[in-house]
Each structure stands twice: as structure tokens, then as C-alpha cells.
Amino acid sequence: MASTRTIKLVSETQTYKIRQEVLRPGKPINECIFRGDKDEDTFHLGLYESDELIGVASFMKICNPLFSHNTQYQLRGMAILPGYQGKGDGSALLKHGELVLKSNNADTNLLLWFNAREHATAFYEKHGYITIGEKFDIPGVCPHIVMYKRL
């Protein structure tokens, strides 16, 4: 990651523009507002190049019945602007989120899971995440599969 990059906590509203451009192109902004965005335990990270927000990721304390871990977080809205993809920024954002989760949660039985876009599974596998279950469609988006890692 270039030295002008910084990662900070951002508000849910700051994530909407990048979610829309990267994850919901052509869709209205209300489709970029996720349930859980405002929950007390949710936090949103933004990755900046100088003053420009170029990537976002949201972490929500949501349990998935597939898992029995005491503390579970779901990663949502992981997105890097197209012009910046493939330069290590997504990796930096994901690793930063893992560190925040570990430092905020004393529980050693801590899990991060998400519904991964099928085309992005290789990215997450590089970070030690594994798939579970069958692929499924999220209507209007694309095929997804659950991935997880114990942090």
C-alpha cells in the first residue's frame, strides 16, 4: 500500500457512494443502505488516498446459524474503487478490520464470516478464509457463497 493511504473509522453514510459505484452500479442509493448499518456494534472502515475515500468495509455483529462461535461478525460492503483495485488496498482494509475486531473482542472464539461474491473468493482465500455450503443467488446481484475464518 502506498504511504499516502490511511484507514479510518467512517460513518455509514460515507460508505454509500462507494457501495453504489462498486457493488450496486446503476442501482438507487437506498439499495446501498444495509440493515445493521446503524447498530451499536457495527463499525465502518474507510481507506483514503490522501483526502479521497477509495475503499470501504463494514463489520456487523451478526450471528450466522451455520456457526456456533460465541462472537460472530459479518463483513459487508467490502469495496475498492475500480481504479485502485489490485494494488493491495483491499488486503490492507481487510487486515485492519481483523485487527480492530481482535483488539475490541477479548473472546478467543471470534469468527468473521460473510456472503462472498463468487468472483472474489480467491481474494478471501489468500487471507485464510474458507467457503462453506453451496453457492446461492442474491437477487439482482450475483452468485455468492458463505466464507469464514476464526480470528
Ligand X SMILES: CC(C)(COP(=O)(O)OP(=O)(O)OC[C@H]1O[C@@H](n2cnc3c(N)ncnc32)[C@H](O)[C@@H]1OP(=O)(O)O)[C@@H](O)C(=O)NCCC(=O)NCCS
Site of interaction with ligand X (CB under 6 A): 22-23, 78-80, 85-91, 116-117, 119-120, 122-123, 126
Choice between 55 and 101, CB closer to ligand X: 55
Residue nearest to ligand X (CB): 90
Question: Could you tell me if 92 and 47 are in contact, meaning their C-beta atoms sit under 8 angstroms apart?
Answer: yes
The backbone region for 5, taken as left when phi is positive above 0, alpha when psi lies in -120 to 50, beta otherwise, is beta
> Least distance to ligand X from the beta carbon of 87, Å?
5
Would you say 73 and 112 are in contact if contact means Cβ atoms under 8 Å apart? yes
Q: Which is nearer to ligand X, 70 or 130 (CB)?
A: 130
- Which of residues 47 and 151 has its CB atom nearest to ligand X in the complex? 47
CA distance 90 to 36: 22
State the nearest-atom distance from the C-beta of 94 to ligand X, in Å.
Answer: 8
Of the two residues 87 and 107, which places its CB atom closer to ligand X in the complex?
87
Shortest Cβ distance from residue 43 to ligand X (Å)?
17
8 A C-beta contact, residue 76 and residue 36: yes
* 43-49 vs 5-10, strand pairing mode: antiparallel
Closest approach of ligand X to the CB of residue 18, in Å: 9
